[in-house]
Amino acid sequence: MRSIQRRLSLGLISVMVVVGLVLAQTSLWLFEMGLQRYLEAGLRNDSENLLVALVRGPQGLQLDERHLSPAYQRPFSGHYFRIDFADSHWRSRSLWDQQLPQLEHPGLSNLQLGPEGQQLLVLRTDYRRLGQSISISVAQDYTPVRESFLRMQQVGLGLGLAGLLLILLLQRLTVRRALRPLEKAREQIAQLQQGQRSQLDDQVPVELEPLVAQINHLLAHTEDSLKRSRNALGNLGHALKTPLAVLLSLASSEQLDAHPQLRKVLKAQLEQVQQRLNRELNRARLSGDALPGALFDCDAELPGLLATLNMIHGEHLDLSYRCPPGLQLPRDREDVLELLGNLLDNACKWADAEVRLSVSETAQGFELSVEDDGPGIPEGRRDQVVSRGTRLDEQTDGHGLGLGIVRDIVDNWGGVLRLEESEWGGLKVAIELPKR
């Protein structure tokens, strides 16, 4: 999509150009019409003067030179006349060797004359004088007026262009100012994506209000339903796991001592139910990428997590973490805790004395790794541990490594999980997470 700014500019330019041209041209034309009418009055005056100058002389009609304007005597002075009689015509001296053609009809017209290329405005008027039909044509050089019109047109065009540029500039400023809330909303959505905020600012213009309100509503709704479904899953888990605990306890009770076969089957089946239940409930609880505003604050959460693990596995384990201060992972808090909790729990089970968690930001995203100083996994078996079971019932609890849920979370995030050898010879689980 083209930007709104561009569209507005294009639309404005085309409208301004069309309107400006039409307006300028029309006003020029109207002005010229007015001017011609004014000149016509002068020409009519000249024509009437000529009529008065026509006097009866000894050889019939003749022009009284005294009444003639001197401009008619000077060659190409810009003022000309022609008087047509029934059989002959007179020309003014100023015409010199040029012919002023007679107009077909009485009235005003434009003509081009002679080598000087003068634009003439010609008025023909018909009279009867002393019993004769006389047609008097007077002409005036129109070229200076034409030229000044041309100059006016050029100046007008220049002014129009400058005006257009100015308007465009102002329009750009106005539009940018008017679109600032949109730009702000765009920035906020970007921040939302990076997890720097959880809601959009609702101080926006009326036009944007429904949009922002709707987005905020959706965010709140997603968060709420995630919370509700997690709660429901917790309740479901509670409702199923407590009876399961009873059954497991019963399966190892003395009453079954006499039926070892029955006990074995019971225990195996119950264990399968338990594993499956845990796996599916954990998986259902993952938020994945549903919430854009999710954030995991390493500094705030990691000490609590490590303290918890230390409490569970005993103080003899040295749990440490390396993480740049202030680092925040743009993921759901519970998901990250689940991932790290399971990884660290697993590492603690195998470690002799040391477990280390490292979190770092890379160019592509984030890298998490958990290392222990336990026995590790031989290289040939690592793939087997990480690979996904082909059949559903083969997907046991991560082959006893607690990696099942870890893999689910990493897959959900579009990350990559690798098993390597740690610096102490134990297992290192490295996870690469893409940026959002």
Partner 1 sequence: MRLLLVEDHVPLADELLAGLNRQGYAVDWLADGRDAVYQGSSEPYDLIILDLGLPGLPGLEVLAQWRAGGLGTPVLILTARDSWAERIEGLKAGADDYLTKPFHPEELHLRIQALLRRSHGQVNQPTLKAAGLHLDEGRQCVIRDGADIQLTAAEFRLLRYFMLHPQQILSKSHLAEHLYDGETERDSNVLEVHVNHLRRKLGKSVIETRRGQGYLFGGQAQ
Q: Which residues contribute to the site for partner 1 (CB under 8 A)? A: 234, 237-250, 252-253, 270, 274, 278, 282, 285, 301, 304-305, 307-308, 311-312, 314-316, 333-334, 337-338, 340-342
Rounded Cα gap, residues 350 and 106, in angstroms: 119
Considering the complex, state which of residue 114 and residue 402 has its C-beta at the smaller distance from partner 1. 402
* Distance (Å) of CA 355 to CA 101, 239, 344, 387: 114, 35, 8, 24
CB-based contacts of 135, cutoff 8 Å, min separation 6: 83, 84, 102, 106, 124, 125, 126, 127
Rounded Cα gap, residues 350 and 402, in angstroms: 12
Least Å from the CB of residue 390 to partner 1: 27
CB-based contacts of 82, cutoff 8 Å, min separation 6: 89, 90, 91, 92, 95, 100, 102, 136, 137, 139
Rounded Cα gap, residues 431 and 410, in angstroms: 8
Count of CB atoms situated within 10 Å of the CB of 313: 17
Rounded Cα gap, residues 113 and 79, in angstroms: 12
CB-based contacts of 17, cutoff 8 Å, min separation 6: 164
Least Å from the CB of residue 173 to partner 1: 50
Least Å from the CB of residue 316 to partner 1: 5
Quick one: DSSP state of residue 115?
T
Considering the complex, state which of residue 305 and residue 347 has its C-beta at the smaller distance from partner 1. 305
Least Å from the CB of residue 6 to partner 1: 48
Pairing of strands 107-113, 318-322: unpaired
Tokens matching residue 106: 């009485």
Least Å from the CB of residue 431 to partner 1: 16
Considering the complex, state which of residue 117 and residue 314 has its C-beta at the smaller distance from partner 1. 314
Least Å from the CB of residue 407 to partner 1: 16
Which alpha helices (H) appear in 72-208, and where do they start and end? 143-178, 180-193
* Distance (Å) of CA 87 to CA 62, 83, 132: 15, 11, 11
Least Å from the CB of residue 4 to partner 1: 44
Least Å from the CB of residue 189 to partner 1: 28
Quick one: DSSP state of residue 319?
E
